[in-house]
Structure 1
Amino acid sequence: MVFTDTNENMPLASIILVTYNQVAYVQEALLSVAGQTYGNLEIVVSDDASTDGTFDLILEFCEQYDGPHTFIINRNDVNLGVGGNYAKAVSLSHGELVFVAGGDDVSLPSRVALVVNFWLETGRKFDLIACHLIDMSVDGTCLGEIKVSNLSAYTSLNDWVDNPPHVIGAAQAWTRRLYDLFGGLPKGVVGEDFILSFRAISQGRAVTLPQPVVYYRRGGLTNKQKAMSAQQVIAGLSKKTKSSFLEWSLLLGDAEASGASERVMSYLRLHQQREICIEEMLLNNRPWRALFGCREVDLAFRLRVFVYAVCPELLAPLFFFKRIKYTGQA
């Protein structure tokens, strides 16, 4: 379903608004992207098979919308996950510059105009532009500024290895040429911001525009919670190890295609092997085999995961004091 009315005097920009079970927040997110001051904008809303009424609200909003921007609406028949939903949304978009938006976040009205103007003023040379964010509680209270890493300081993947940057995709924009150059994002990817910033740095085309452009809501789908028991650590590691293995494998291929140094390749291979070690111990129930077989991985790391796999009760005192520290309860 497409709603159109564009101004073709400026480069076409796209916002991809990805949603999943965010019925309480999606209308605010929709209002924020529809309220962008930039003239030539399309908004692709891709819902990942929500079950809570999110898509009904999206349809209702777009049917009533009479503003200047283009809306393209999609609902996946089945849940594709983060990477799959991003890939679907991008396939429906047409802009030279693509902005990422979450279904529970709020973009400032000037977000797109600010970044597009910066991109044009710098000769369109950058393939990824990161911005800062405003930390926001679940109820909408502003809690301060979140600063991402200064990507301008990363001149090569060697810099990336020395100090992997802190990035948040909800305030990123990237070019279609970057996305297409590396073949997009496959299903199973979770850290799309991690991958795309790596790719842009590999080309020497990443930059940070140090201004907040998004209210970033806490408690979202990718929000990290502190684990308060060994069982929670095991569940977290088990849940993410397959996507992490996929992502490190992607980066290996991207780095090789970019002519990265052996130091970069070794770093990436090590992290890939760490995910294999975790999978062997926690998912495949082969802790002894991994302990003695994954020799590329640091022994201390292997022993730590081994304890979680074989005798997690030994860690009970550690988590007892951790719960007291962070929650005041045992």
Structure 2
Amino acid sequence: MVSVCMATYNGAAFIEEQIRSILTQLRAEDELVISDDGSGDGTLDIICQIADDRIRLYHGNFRDVIRNFQYALSKAKGDYIFLADQDDVWLPGKVTKMIELLQKYDLVISDSEVVDEQLQQLHASFFAYFGSGKGLLKNIARSTYYGSCMAFRKSLLKNALPFPATREIGHDLWIGLVAEMIGTVYFYPEALIKYRRHGETFTSAGTGKSKRGLIKKLKGRMIMMKEVIKYYLKYKICKKV
């Protein structure tokens, strides 16, 4: 069984196109788990109008994308779990290919085609544009674990939840770091989604620009390192018991 987990908030502009691109790839027994964080722009109406029994809609009031995704993931029933953003488009064959790779790896992250609001190509490869790849220190310094392109086994999720109680580590980055510490990871070099770039979602990624000062960024990296070390030591101790 496949569970696709999506966290929504005021995504009316693009969400129907994304949901339909996902549902066309799911079987009758699969599910699309959506946790909405109090949308007020018609997002919920659009989801309800699709009227598909595979959609499981939950309502939260977190005002926090990490907690919202954590809630969606806590409701997932599938053996294979996909993360999905509310504004992208999945390309045909994504689910089939990712499940095939998950027979060998605990977590797979695919490349994506970066597009504008009208789905016109900006960059053919997000991996090449952003320098994506494995490595704990690499990804602590600059995360290349993007949930929109990620799928993993349920067994990995059990080891990744709950997420650290800090906003310095995104849900997708944390899952990726845990996978590197205790499992196997593969960056698949084929674009399986159209990753939509627009003002609200794709700001400084890959540009080297950030609104955060150096001190704040360094503090954030230190928090990440602390959480990774704490998790790794705890995991090793548990394995010995």
Place the TM-score, normalised by the shorter chain, in its bin: 0.7 to 0.9
Q: What residue in structure 1 maps to residue 2 of structure 2?
A: 13
TM-score by length of 1: 0.60
Q: What residue in structure 1 maps to residue 98 of structure 2?
A: 115
Q: Work out which of the residue numbers 122, 127, 136 in structure 2 matches 1:160.
A: 136
Q: What residue in structure 1 maps to residue 160 of structure 2?
A: 182
Q: Counterparts of 1:169-208 in structure 2 under 5 Å?
A: 169-186=147-164, 188-189=166-167, 191-208=170-187
Matched, 1:149 2:125: no
Matched, 1:70 2:54: yes
Q: Counterparts of 1:68-147 in structure 2 under 5 Å?
A: 70-76=54-60, 78-120=61-103, 122=104, 126-143=105-122, 144-147=124-127
Task: Work out the CA distance in 1 between the residues paired with 2:9 and 2:215.
Answer: 23
Query: Deviation at 1:170?
Result: 0.7
Q: Counterparts of 1:217-256 in structure 2 under 5 Å?
A: 217-219=196-198, 221-225=200-204, 232-233=211-212, 247-256=224-233
Query: Deviation at 1:139?
Result: 2.1
Q: How many residues align?
A: 227
Greater C-alpha Rg? 1
Query: Deviation at 1:106?
Result: 0.9
| Greater percentage in helix | 1
Query: Deviation at 1:70?
Result: 1.9
Task: Work out the CA distance in 2 between the residues paired with 1:220 and 1:206.
Answer: 31
TM-score by length of 2: 0.80
Q: Structure 1 residues 211, 70: CA separation in 2 closer, same or farther (over 3 Å shift)?
A: same
Q: Structure 1 residues 233, 130: CA separation in 2 closer, same or farther (over 3 Å shift)?
A: closer
Q: Structure 1 residues 215, 128: CA separation in 2 closer, same or farther (over 3 Å shift)?
A: same
RMSD: 3.0
Query: Deviation at 1:18?
Result: 1.6
Q: Structure 1 residues 31, 166: CA separation in 2 closer, same or farther (over 3 Å shift)?
A: same
Q: Percent identity?
A: 23
Task: Work out the CA distance in 2 between the residues paired with 1:39 and 1:220.
Answer: 35
Query: Deviation at 1:23?
Result: 0.9
Q: Which segments of 5 or more consecutive residues in structure 1 lack a partner in the other structure?
A: 1-11, 152-158, 261-330
* Structure of greater relative contact order (alpha carbons < 8 Å, 6+ residues apart): 2
Contact 1:97/1:175 (<8 A) preserved: yes
Q: Work out which of the residue numbers 43, 57, 67 in structure 2 matches 1:54.
A: 43
Q: Which segments of 5 or more consecutive residues in structure 2 lack a partner in the other structure?
A: none
- Matched AA of 1:145: S
Contact 1:188/1:243 (<8 A) preserved: no
Contact 2:90/2:194 (<8 A) preserved: yes
SS of 2:4 mapped into structure 1: strand
Q: Structure 1 residues 40, 242: CA separation in 2 closer, same or farther (over 3 Å shift)?
A: farther
1:204-239: CA deviation from partner (whole Å, max 9, x where unpaired): 41112222111101126542347999xx545x987x
Query: Deviation at 1:186?
Result: 5.0
Query: Deviation at 1:14?
Result: 0.7
1:62-99: CA deviation from partner (whole Å, max 9, x where unpaired): x2x3xxx72211121x1341221111111211011110
Task: Work out the CA distance in 2 between the residues paired with 1:39 and 1:108.
Answer: 19
Task: Work out the CA distance in 2 between the residues paired with 1:228 and 1:115.
Answer: 32
Task: Work out the CA distance in 1 between the residues paired with 2:81 and 2:159.
Answer: 14
SS of 2:125 mapped into structure 1: strand
